[in-house]
Amino acid sequence: MAYSRTVVRPTMKWRVADIAVASVIGVASALIYWAVAIATYAPWSLLEAIVPGLAGIFNGLWLFAGPLAAVIVRKPGAAIYAEIVAAVLESLLGNTWGGAETILMGLTQGVFAELAFVFVFYRVWNVGIMMLSGALSGVACWGYSFFTNLQAISFTGSYGIVYFLTTVVSGALIAGLAMWYLFIAIAKTGALDHFASGREVRRMH
């Protein structure tokens, strides 16, 4: 009855548990995004008044679903899927950003967040890759704004650059760095024992 006979079959195929957790992370994120939208309403205007574009530092709070789902599930498309579920839910609830447009935002941010993991063929999972993912998601967030509502502002001007830097840094720190440690904290609760990612953390700590 030796454990050497244990057969392990690693797989990139999504299990039902993977789908469920990615979709529920999307849903919980939508709830948190909504709370964040209310909470940052006043400070947003304040920061804009101090330094134009500085309010971008809040943007990471709307970008975390993708990297978080990806690092837990570790299957191709997890970041995109979680962002889309969150966006579809938000658009159906209405009264948030832009109805159907939210889905496009979610899609762009999810695709960019996913890119980081594609670059390393879903083999490397560490804080660096997470920060890259968050930062890329920030790039998408910034780019989307200038492609749509802020077309009239030159994205290479001072406003555009400040907004770019703050959004990307916010993405890297909140959606990347903070999500990495959040993932480890969640794994320590045992909630992720059904996932290879969670078991790895529990083995190491």
Partner 1 sequence: MNQTVVRGKQTVDDMDERSRNAVQFCHWGYRHASRDQFAVRGVDLTIRQGEHVLLLGASGVGKSTMLEGVAGLLGDQTPSPRHDTAAQDDDTRTDHEANAEDPRAGDELVADADGGITEGAILVHGVPANQAHGDVGLVLQSPEAQVVFQRLGDNVAFGPENMDVPREEIWPRVTEALDAVGMPDAQLDRSVLHLSGGQMQRVALAGALAMRPGIVLLDEPTANLDPDGADQVVQAVRQALRATQATMILVEHQTARWIDMVDRVVVLGSVEQGTDDQHTVVMADGTPEQIFTNPDLDLESLGVWIPPQYRKNEGTGILHVEGEPAYSARTGNGRTLLRAEDLSVGHGGRPIAEHISLDLHAGQITALVGTNGAGKSTLSLTLAGLLEPLAGQVVAGDELAAGARGRWPIDWTSQQLASRVSYVFQNPEHQFACGSVMEEMMLGPVRCGVDEDEARQRATTLLRRFHLERYADANPYTLSGGEKRRLTVAAALAAAPRVLILDEPTFGQDRNTWMQIALLIRSLRADDIAIVVVTHDRALVRALDANVVELVPQDGVKEWERAEEDPAHEIAVSSIRERYEEPKPSSHSPVLASMNPVFRLIAAFVVSLPLLLSLDWVSASVAVLLEFAVLWAAGINPLRAIRSTWPIFIGAPCSALAVLLYGKSGGATWWQWGWIHVTDYSALLALATMLRIVAIGMPAIIAVLGIDATDLADGFSQILHLPDRFVYGGLAGIRLFSVLQDDWASLTASRRSRGLGDDNKFKAFFPQAFALLVLSIRRSTMLATAMQARGFGGSGPRSHARVSRVHARDWMLLVVALAVPVIALCAAWGAGTFAFMGNIQG
Amino acid of residue 52 = P
Torsion angle (degrees, nearest 10) of CA 173, 136, 14, 181? -10
Binder among 103, 111, 135, 140 for partner 1 (CB under 8 A) = 103
CA distance 198 to 178: 17
Tell me which residue has tokens 């943007």. 59
Binder among 16, 42, 50, 204 for partner 1 (CB under 8 A) = 16
Binder among 46, 92, 120, 124 for partner 1 (CB under 8 A) = 92
Residue 204, interface with partner 1 (CB under 8 A)? no
Residue 24, interface with partner 1 (CB under 8 A)? yes
Question: 130-159 mask for partner 1 (x: CB under 8 A)?
Answer: -----------------xxxxxxxx--xxx
Smallest distance, Å, CB 63 to partner 1?
14
Looking at the Cβ atoms of 119 and 190, the one nearer to partner 1 is: 190
Looking at the Cβ atoms of 19 and 173, the one nearer to partner 1 is: 19
Residue 196, interface with partner 1 (CB under 8 A)? yes
Cβ pair 105, 153 in contact under 8 A = no
Residues 6+ apart with CB under 8 A from 91: 99, 100, 101, 102, 103
Cβ pair 53, 110 in contact under 8 A = no
Residue 104, interface with partner 1 (CB under 8 A)? yes
Binder among 54, 115, 165, 186 for partner 1 (CB under 8 A) = 186
